[in-house]
């Protein structure tokens, strides 16, 4: 029974869309009644979820386990050179983070040399919908995982600028996917602005994100596009390095 359960999980992990009960039973080579029973159990334990059409996809527990933020030493090592260069160019606090359920977890931080700066630490967590890092990570997830994450959010206004609706958040994610970078425009803390870009695997899925953070007096709206492209280029360098390592 364990083998069949793992076969279902592997099937959904490799699929680019949700799958119906019939598709899972057929592709996994499992009796339909057995597949139905296993799927019901996995869904009940939040290892699987369902989309709006009733198809099965990976659930929050598997998304959480998949982030593996505690074992990210290789990622930090491969990203560190580029992060230091981004720090040198921008002179703002630079962060590296991964997705963990409905939160982002910071796994590396380089503090700005300015007296007035954002202080962040590895291991710090933040709700994804009010951070540039979180938005960049979600915007570049597979469609079914993105939908599952978004539908699980409970929006709260931390500042007058915080996104507070599903429709607004989805519009923001579409813009981020189009531009290649995300912006936290004082959505977490008034006076603080952040710009983030995703670190992508060979399939174009975000495995991490990097950001710069600082006061709005230095990271102005007029500089957003230019800084966004700088952060995006750094993320692209890290992505290429990671992809080369797995070639």
Instruction: Read off the tokens for 197.
Output: 């870009």
Q: Is 118 helix (H, G, I), strand (E, B) or coil?
A: coil
CATH class (in words) of the domain with range 66-245: alpha beta
Tens of pLDDT along the chain (247 residues) come to: 788 888 888 888 766 567 889 999 999 899 999 999 989 988 888 788 776 567 887 776 665 555 444 456 678 888 989 999 999 999 999 999 998 888 888 888 888 887 766 666 666 788 899 999 999 999 999 988 898 899 888 888 889 999 999 999 999 999 999 999 999 999 988 999 999 999 999 999 999 999 999 998 899 999 999 999 999 999 999 999 888 877 6
pLDDT at 17: 61
Q: Is 99 helix (H, G, I), strand (E, B) or coil?
A: strand
pLDDT at 2: 81
pLDDT at 67: 47
Architecture of the domain delimited by 2-58: Orthogonal Bundle (1.10)
Distance in angstroms (rounded) separating the CA atoms of residues 241 and 244? 5
Domain extents in the chain: 2-58, 66-245
Instruction: Read off the tokens for 170.
Output: 């989805």
Instruction: Read off the tokens for 160.
Output: 């007058």
What is the C-alpha R_g of the chain?
19
Q: Would you call 163 exposed, middle or buried from its count of C-beta atoms within 10 A (0-12, 13-18, 19+)?
A: buried
Looking up tokens 């280029």 gives 233
């Amino acid at each position: 029974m364990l083998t069949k359960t793992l076969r279902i999980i592997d099937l959904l992990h490799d699929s680019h869309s949700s799958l119906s009960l019939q598709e899972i039973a057929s592709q996994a080579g499992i009796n339909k009644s057995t597949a139905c029973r296993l799927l019901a159990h996995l869904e009940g334990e939040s290892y699987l979820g369902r989309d709006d059409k009733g198809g099965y996809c990976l659930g929050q527990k598997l998304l959480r386990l998949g982030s593996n933020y505690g074992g990210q030493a290789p990622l930090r090592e491969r990203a560190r050179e580029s992060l230091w260069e981004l720090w040198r160019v921008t002179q703002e606090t630079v962060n590296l983070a991964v997705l963990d359920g409905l939160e982002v977890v910071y796994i590396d931080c380089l503090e700005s040399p300015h007296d007035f700066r954002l202080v962040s630490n590895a291991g710090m967590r933040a709700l994804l919908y009010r951070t540039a890092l979180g938005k960049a990570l979600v915007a570049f997830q597979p469609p079914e995982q993105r939908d599952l994450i978004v539908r699980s959010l409970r929006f709260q206004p931390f500042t007058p600028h915080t996104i507070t609706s599903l429709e607004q958040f989805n519009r923001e994610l579409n813009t981020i996917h189009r531009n290649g970078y995300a912006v936290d425009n004082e959505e977490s803390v008034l006076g603080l602005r952040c710009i983030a870009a995703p670190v992508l695997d060979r399939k174009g899925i975000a495995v991490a994100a990097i950001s710069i953070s600082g006061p709005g007096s230095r990271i102005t709206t007029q500089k957003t596009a230019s800084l966004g492209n700088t952060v995006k280029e750094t993320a692209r360098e890290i992505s290429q390095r990671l992809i080369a390592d797995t070639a």
